[in-house]
Structure 1
Amino acid sequence: MSSEKTAAPASPASPASSAPADGRPVLEYPCGDAPAPGTVREIVPGLLWLRMPMPFALSHINLWAVRDGGGWAAFDAGLQTSETTTAWRDLFAGGGALADGLTRLFVTHMHPDHIGMAGWLTRKFGCRLWMTRLEYLNCRVLAADTGREAPEDGVRFYRRAGWDDNAIEAYRARFGGFGKFVHALPDSYRRLRDGELLQIGAHQWRVVVGNGHSPEHACFYSEALKILISGDQILPRISSNVSVFPTEPDADPMGDWLASLAKLRREVPDDVLVLPAHNEPFRGLHARIGHLERSQHAALDRLRQALGAPKRAVDVFGELFSRPIGAEPGLLGMATGESIAHLNYLLHRGEAVMETDDDGIAWYRAA
């Protein structure tokens, strides 16, 4: 069952301002202004920064290209939109920065802003799509939901969270929209594995897999270049959405997310330049990880206090998020999924219990 999520990776808990607030680390942003769509900025010799537009509140995604033999290996693909297509065509045109074409395409994970143009690019250049197994297969499943009616499992999931009839009606109307921004995927791919070493052009890159934001998210670390292509697994100014969805209502993505942050700290040194999917390249990886961990644990502490009395998932938004959550379907869906992720984290650790009433509504309280 696909969710209504399309491209926005930012948690509702993300700060509205990019200016440092109390307790937030001051990161370094050494790469200057972002390139306009259809142009590039060189980060180091043979590694280019591309930026593609998105028609959302989060208005962009960063993509990367690494010189790979006679062409370029691209990292992520952008949404399937006419604006993204135009930007790619400008890059591939004679005299464009990527006029030599693509040798292969690496995709960090299955969200449409990352995989949307993958089918178009791989077919255009006859090149292979490289991604992890769970990301590829989950994307195929969600794309297959396009045009389906909302399943009753999904309706029950959001009813149980406390949604009213209007919100359920909006869910039914929006269901199956995942494939809107995703070109038909190639029918085969090259599987990426955690810890795998890849020779891309002149340098070796190691695959570092994380979880929580998506099922099997791939980051790419070059020790020689001291660069980490982080996708959505670590972002400098916003936090990634970590949600439970109707397909796996008992999941513990928050536990996976916190474990993945600790793994990144262990496996990737602090002196790297981080190339994220959103915002700007930055230095200060370990400080950013520490801030994200502290923020998540502070939110969990507030939730523990709130569960002194029984609460539904929709009743704890105030404890978790830095902005009001209204009736806008996309934001409500992300906030609900993330609330359940926090609640499931406590359930899995025996710190909370959940009881379902006669109307099918789930009520949570401290154990």
Structure 2
Amino acid sequence: MQMRPGVLWLRMPLPIPGLDFINLWLIEEAGGWTLVDTGVKSSKLQKIWDEVVARHLKGKPITRILCTHFHPDHIGLAGWLQQKFDAPLWMTLGEWTFGRMLALEETPDVPDEVISFYQRIGFNEDLIAALKARGYGNFSKAVTPIPRHFHRISEGDVIRIGGHDWRVIVGNGHSPEHACLFNAELNLLISGDQVLPRISPHIGVYPGEPEARPLTQYLDSFAKFADLPADVLVLPAHGDPFIGLHVRVAMLQRHHETRLDAIVAALQQRPHTVIETLPLLFRRDIKDHMTLAAGEALAHLHHLMHQGRVVRHRNAAGVFEFSHGNAEAQAAQ
């Protein structure tokens, strides 16, 4: 589907319950196409790509691959497409580096420090057993080999694509340096996962950076979109394109504020472990997604610690507990 002259919307299937598909964007240039995001590694998607190239690209090749971030549904086929078309990969440094690092991590057994991280946040023996059963290094199974070389893009860069200027806006929180693209002339924003129309992107803390504050970074990133037009057409990675960027940003802010307030209200009653906060954040069944859910809960707790509303300590079992209060005030007592 054409969103603007020379800008095509391509929807690819995803084997991820609740998402089902990803939106990819093709921007026509004189000698080919710039592709924004690629889809996950899948023989089915490779066949779809072959059909798209044969039937819909006017006989032109893909001449540039630009990935918004390192998650497999966005970078999964970048290596295969790069080899197929000899097209350079464009990404932010943080995203390319993180993707390359995870793709090279093929340790089959879950490392002890990863197990220790999840024990500290309250995983019991059954949850640890399930964690071990899933194995480690699974990222590499969801991506074709990520190219060893890339073209770096950064905040504020202006990239000429299809006869138009596209400004790079780098968001944080969902991933290290997520690239969005704004075209003032066409009034388009390719938002990737940074701003989605119906769901909040996943914001989580993981063993590689156990003290991270991704929710703080995510909420701070919204300021970068404040100067964009109210009627900009947003092209997200999941869900349908929409108009109403600032309304949606306000909704996402309120969503997280409500969840943060719910945690604080519960902690005013008694201390909670990370696992004990999960019912405050999730109404659906999360038993098959405990690492994601716990990572998101921890992101909210770390943001509250940063705000000075919550303090952390270890209980007798060595598990982190979080309480309502201010660390400086408690230290002064």
- Please give the TM-score of this superposition, normalised by the length of structure 2: 0.94
Residue number among 217, 225, 248 corresponding to 2:186 in the alignment? 225
Matches within 5 A, 1:155-166: 155-166=115-126
CA distance in 1, matches of 2:104, 2:142: 13
CA distance in 2, matches of 1:104, 1:48: 15
Judge conservation of contact 1:78–1:112 (CA < 8 Å) in 2: yes
Matches within 5 A, 1:290-301: 290-301=250-261
Compute the displacement of 1:147 (Å): 3.9
**Which structure dedicates a bigger proportion of its chain to helix?**
2
CA distance in 2, matches of 1:162, 1:98: 55
Compute the displacement of 1:171 (Å): 1.4
Partner residue, 2:240: 280
Taking a change above 3 Å as real, the CA distance of residues 154 and 116 of structure 1, as seen in their structure-2 partners, is: same
Partner residue, 2:306: 348
Partner residue, 1:150: 110
Judge conservation of contact 1:147–1:177 (CA < 8 Å) in 2: no
Show structure 1 runs of 5+ residues with no match.
Answer: 1-40
Judge conservation of contact 1:193–1:207 (CA < 8 Å) in 2: yes
CA distance in 2, matches of 1:156, 1:256: 25
Partner residue, 1:76: 37
- Cα deviation 1:188-212 (Å, max 9, x = unaligned): 0000100000100110000000000
CA distance in 2, matches of 1:253, 1:161: 17
Matches within 5 A, 1:1-367: 41-57=1-17, 58-93=19-54, 95-97=55-57, 99-174=59-134, 175-264=136-225, 266-308=226-268, 309-325=270-286, 327-328=287-288, 331-367=289-325
Task: Please tell me the root mean square deviation across aligned C-alpha atoms, in Å.
Answer: 1.2
CA distance in 2, matches of 1:285, 1:88: 30
Judge conservation of contact 1:226–1:273 (CA < 8 Å) in 2: yes
Higher relative contact order (CA 8 A, sep 6+): 1
CA distance in 1, matches of 2:229, 2:290: 37
Detail structure 1 runs of 4+ shifted over 6 Å in the superposition: none
Judge conservation of contact 1:161–1:314 (CA < 8 Å) in 2: yes
- Cα deviation 1:120-139 (Å, max 9, x = unaligned): 11111111100000000001
Letter in 1 for 2:308: G
CA distance in 1, matches of 2:3, 2:162: 15
* SS class of match (2:35): strand
Letter in 2 for 1:48: L
Compute the displacement of 1:182 (Å): 0.2
CA distance in 2, matches of 1:200, 1:146: 36
CA distance in 1, matches of 2:117, 2:230: 40
Compute the displacement of 1:165 (Å): 1.3
* SS class of match (1:316): helix
CA distance in 1, matches of 2:221, 2:314: 31
Sequence identity percentage: 43
Letter in 2 for 1:275: L
Compute the displacement of 1:351 (Å): 1.3
Judge conservation of contact 1:65–1:74 (CA < 8 Å) in 2: yes
* SS class of match (1:267): coil
- Cα deviation 1:43-77 (Å, max 9, x = unaligned): 11100000111112121000000012211000001
Taking a change above 3 Å as real, the CA distance of residues 292 and 307 of structure 1, as seen in their structure-2 partners, is: same
CA distance in 1, matches of 2:166, 2:56: 26
CA distance in 2, matches of 1:191, 1:66: 19
CA distance in 2, matches of 1:99, 1:300: 51
CA distance in 2, matches of 1:98, 1:292: 39
